[in-house]
Amino acid sequence: MDEIYRLQSRSGFAFPDRKKLRNIDRTEAIKELGKFMNKNPNKPITVSSYDAWEGRQYKGRQLGQLSFGSWAELCRAANVPWAKRRPTDLEVIEYYDKVCQHLGGQPSRDELDEYYQARPDKFCVSVGVIQRRWGALSIFAKLFMFYKNGKISLEELLAKKAGSRGQMAADKLGPLNVPDEMLRYK
- Beta bridge partners of residue 181, listed in sequence order: none
Last residue in a domain, options 57, 77, 97: 77
- Inform me whether the pLDDT recorded for 166 exceeds 50: no
For 38-73, how does the pLDDT look when each residue is reduced to its tens digit (9 = 90+)?
A: 888 877 788 878 888 888 888 887 888 888 888 888
d(CA 85, CA 99): 20
Q: What is the pLDDT of residues 65-86, one digit of tens each?
A: 888 888 888 888 888 877 666 7
pLDDT digits (tens, 9 = 90+) for 83-140: 666 788 998 999 899 888 888 888 888 888 888 777 755 677 888 889 888 988 889 9
Show the domain range for 57.
Answer: 13-77
pLDDT at 35 over 60: yes
What angle, 0 to 180 degrees and rounded to 10, lies between the N-to-C axes of helices 137-148 and 89-103? 80
In a domain, 83, yes or no: no
Do 98 and 173 lie in one domain? The reply is: yes
Task: Decide if 36 contacts 83 (C-beta within 8 A).
Answer: no
Q: Are 126 and 132 in contact (CB under 8 A)?
A: no
Question: Do residue 160 and residue 101 come from a single domain?
Answer: yes
Residue 7, pLDDT score = 47
**Do both 96 and 70 map to the same domain?**
no
State the number of CA atoms in the 13 A half-sphere of 25 facing the CB: 4
What pTM value is reported for the model? 0.52
pLDDT at 41: 80
Residue type at 111? Answer: E
Q: Give the chain's domain count.
A: 2
Tell whether 48 and 71 lie within a shared domain: yes
Q: ∠ CA 25-26-30 to the nearest 5 degrees?
A: 120
In a domain? residue 3: no
